Structures are given as C-alpha cells and as structure tokens.
Homo-oligomer: A and B are copies of this chain.
Amino acid sequence: MYAHRIRRADLLARVMPADAAARLFAPAMTVGMSGFTRAGDAKALPRALVERARTEPLCLTLITGASLGNDSDGLMANAGVIARRLPFQADAALRRKINSGEVLFIDQHLSETAEQLRSGALPPVDIAVIEAAAIRADGAIVPTMAVGNSASFVQQAKHVIVELNLSAPLALEGLHDIYLPRPRPERAPIQLTSPGERIGTTAIAIDPDRIVAIVVTDSPDSPSNVLPPDAETDAIARHVVTFLEGEVAAGRMGPQLLPLQAGIGTIANAVLHGLSQSPFRGLTMYSEVLQDSAIALLDSGHLAFASASSITLSAPMHEHFIHNIDRYRDRLVLRPQEISNHPEIVRRLGIIGMNTALEFDIYGNVNSTHVGGTHMMNGIGGSGDFARNGELAIFVSKSAAKDGAISSVVPMVAHVDHTEHDVDVLVTEWGLADLRGLAPRERAPLIIERCTHPDFRPALRDYYARALLRGGQTPHVLEEALAWHERYRVIGTMQA
C-alpha cells in the first residue's frame, strides 16, 4: 500500500509500528535524529521512546540537526530518554532540565557536528531516525522539509530507522542536494560558487540492508511560532535596509547585495520582511533556515534563489508552500547543514549574516545563548558559522526586555558567543552601529548613543567615562562590569 513511497518490495516487510522500532534501542546509545528548527523531525519514535522509558531508563545521547518540533525534546527530557543533547534545542521543558543539570547540553556550531562525527571526536551514532517522503528503488532516502545532519547520521549509523511521513508531499523529491565532504586527507574543494548550484544527489544514498525499520506517520511539522513584526522590529528592519542601501551606494556590493543569511526567530524574520519594502531585486539567500519571510520574498520577486538546510513555516504559509511547490522548485535547494553553514562556502560567497543577540556590550561582544550569563536559552546555532566567516556579521536585538527591566546593551556581556573580532554591525530599534574598522574606544560611544535604550544611556555613559580613567584597549570598571546582571538577578531590574 506504500509502493509509491517505498519503491523496493524487500523493504515493505520492514514496516513496523513505532513501539516495535523503539525496542531496537538500548540504554546509553547515541542516536541521530532528523529535524532542524521544528522541520523534518521524526514524529513517532520520540513518543515511542518516551513510552519505552516507562519500563527502562534510556539515557540516550541525542544528536539532531537543530531543534525538534512536536514538544519531542521536552517529552523525551521529562521521561528520562535523553541524558545528553547536542547541538541545539529550543524547548522550554528541555531547557529547564539543561539548566538544572539533569540533561547535559553541548552547545555547538551547527557546521561542526558532522565534522566531529566524521573524525570520531563525538561517539559514533548507533541508530539514526530519519524522516522521509519516500525511499527510492536504490534505497536512497528522500528527506522532507529539512536535511540537517541526516546524511551524516545515515552515513555513520549502525542501524537506520526511516519514518515515512505520508503528509509530506512527494513533490519534495528533487528539492534536496545531498553532498558531504570526504574524510581527510582525500578532502577536496567544495565546488559550489553560487547559492543556486547543485553539487550532490537528490536523496541520501544508503545500502538498503541497513534500514532496519520503517515507521509510517502522517502528521505535518509543528508550525513555526514566530511572532508577527511590530513597531520595534519594523524599525530594526528599516535600519538594516538603510545600511545595506548605503553599502550599495558606496560601491561595496552590487544592487543584488551578497547572499543573505537570517537566523531563526521573530526579529530576523521581520528584517527579511523589511526587504520586501526595499528597492533590492535579484537577492539570494544562503542560509540555514527559511521562514515565512523567505517564501514571501520569493513570491514578491525580491528573492531570486534561496538555499538552506530547513524550511519552517507558519500553518498558513506551509499550506501555501505545499500547494505551490512547483513554483519554487527551481528557486530553492535544501542542503546538509554542514554545507549550508560551511566556513569554506560562507567565506567564498561573502554571506551577510543577520542573527539575533540576547545582549551585546559597549565594545561589540555578543551573547546569543546565556540568560544572565548562566542559563541556556536555545544555543548558538549557526550564528557563529556565519558571523565568523561571512562578509558582514549583523546582530539585531530590541534594546530592552521585560518591560524595560533589562537593557540589551550592557557594560560587559556575561557570556560571549561572538567576540568583538567577529561582530561588524549592531542594530536595535533606536539605530545601527557600524563597527567595521573601529577600535574599542570608538565603538563604545557609538553603541551607547546609537543602539541603547534612552533609559539606560546615562548609566552606560557614566560607566564608560569611569572606565576610561582606568585606561586600556578595552576600558572597564571590572568590579562593576557584571553588576547590571547581578542587580537584575537580585532585585529584578537592571535599572539602578
């Protein structure tokens, strides 16, 4: 009955219920699951593993592409399925387990997990669980809305379980471009010189004997949960568009800009939405994830081509995308995250990276991950891959949070994910600070006056003035540098 999706008769016998497939797991195994920013994740096995953990604790090391949907991360964390998790997550329940120390979280650059699996720096994957739209006659697995690390997991895992999702349109076939670098020293240049090129295959090759189970599902990805643009995100978007117009006017890039990357989340989505009011045409994206805004820019004609590792959409946009998929077929490609985020490609193409900061400091260091310097929010994701190696590293944030109790601009960030060496441009709703070619003593006044919420400017000016008295390349009053965070922790506001 699944012959159009399972195109080898010998594999039909491996279809089994999820609970049967879950019995293939053993405690302390390393498991690789498909799924990247709620897209393309396994739907049945996470729940089957939760059931199974009621009788036997599993304590798995779970590696994915990025975050899972369907509350899977939280359910598995609460049930004791997961003891160790990498490289990214965005689940409230799992986050609590991480911050309490019950689940160990390794917060990794998204381009590096595949490399560390290949080299043996991470333990080998015992079982891979891969969502598929189809299994081809040669056994190759056609992914769904994300590629993530699936190709790496399939390449390495002892056993592969396919989740065949009947709700995934067969029209997805052909959208993917699967290419993995070879082990060293046979590693060759990646011959990709523009976002639209294809260098690989349209499905993940595998010896079909390694597919030990096929579990059939029929539920779509969790819808994206980004918020709509608001006055502040609109202002941030305007600052970014004006800045990019200035780059074109100065001759630093052409009117089609350089390939764009935008991180996950509300602000990055809003910035891309802002481009639909821009004069730019023929834009390209070379990103890790596409949100609603990217599809809208393809529709409006601003965007000529989009390359990513995952597509995560709101329910209505998902409906629109699926019904019009043929329109996008020659303007979209989904790649392994090792390739979408690869230093080689990011530097070659000269990506403009736009990512969200939790907070940044007066010298341009960015914290993307740790609330109060200690508690994990989601993880660094791909922001470091793009910020470090791209042409422009733009970080965006609203200037304040928690009804003005928290300033996003602080004397010193309490955790550094992107150093002053890597950050080019900072943007809040108040303005934009272009830090390129500036020394720390030039950056501080610019960041204070352009980006900070007016309520916090006097205190930052005062801090910086007193720091200058102590001298140095990067002046600080060290005993006060983290006092804003400490004040928030103790009295609930950074305001003095």
Residues of A within 8 A of B (CB): 84, 86, 98-101, 104-109, 115-116, 119-123, 181, 184-185, 187-191, 193-194, 250-253, 258, 342-344, 346-350, 365, 369-370, 372-376, 380, 384, 388-389, 391, 414-422, 424, 436-439, 441-442, 467-468, 470-476, 478-479, 481-483, 485-486, 489
Question: Which DSSP category, helix, strand, loop or mixed, fits chain A's interface?
Answer: loop
What residues on B are CB-neighbors of A471 within 8 Å?
99-101, 374-375
Instruction: Kindly state the separation between the CA atoms of A383 and B369 in the bound complex, as whole angstroms.
Output: 23
Instruction: Kindly state the separation between the CA atoms of A18 and B344 in the bound complex, as whole angstroms.
Output: 42
Looking at the complex, which one of B104, B350, B374 makes contact with A187 (CB distance below 8 Å)? B350
Instruction: Kindly state the separation between the CA atoms of A439 and B115 in the bound complex, as whole angstroms.
Output: 18
Q: Is the CB of B193 within 8 A of A189?
A: yes
> What is the CB-to-nearest-CB distance from A448 to chain B, in angstroms, rounded to a whole number?
17
Q: List 11 A-B contacts (CB under 8 A).
A: A99-B471, A119-B252, A119-B391, A120-B250, A120-B251, A343-B346, A370-B474, A373-B478, A375-B473, A384-B419, A481-B482
Instruction: Kindly state the separation between the CA atoms of A376 and B373 in the bound complex, as whole angstroms.
Output: 24
> What is the CB-to-nearest-CB distance from A125 to chain B, in angstroms, rounded to a whole number?
13
Instruction: Kindly state the separation between the CA atoms of A341 and B191 in the bound complex, as whole angstroms.
Output: 20
Looking at the complex, which one of B104, B189, B349 makes contact with A191 (CB distance below 8 Å)? B189
What residues on B are CB-neighbors of A115 within 8 Å?
347, 391
What residues on B are CB-neighbors of A350 within 8 Å?
119, 184, 187
> What is the CB-to-nearest-CB distance from A366 to chain B, in angstroms, rounded to a whole number?
10
What residues on B are CB-neighbors of A470 within 8 Å?
374
Q: Is the CB of A441 within 8 A of B365?
A: no
> What is the CB-to-nearest-CB distance from A393 to chain B, in angstroms, rounded to a whole number?
11
Instruction: Kindly state the separation between the CA atoms of A370 and B474 in the bound complex, as whole angstroms.
Output: 8
Instruction: Kindly state the separation between the CA atoms of A115 and B367 in the bound complex, as whole angstroms.
Output: 25
Q: Is the CB of B375 within 8 A of A437?
A: no
Q: Is the CB of B189 within 8 A of A190?
A: yes
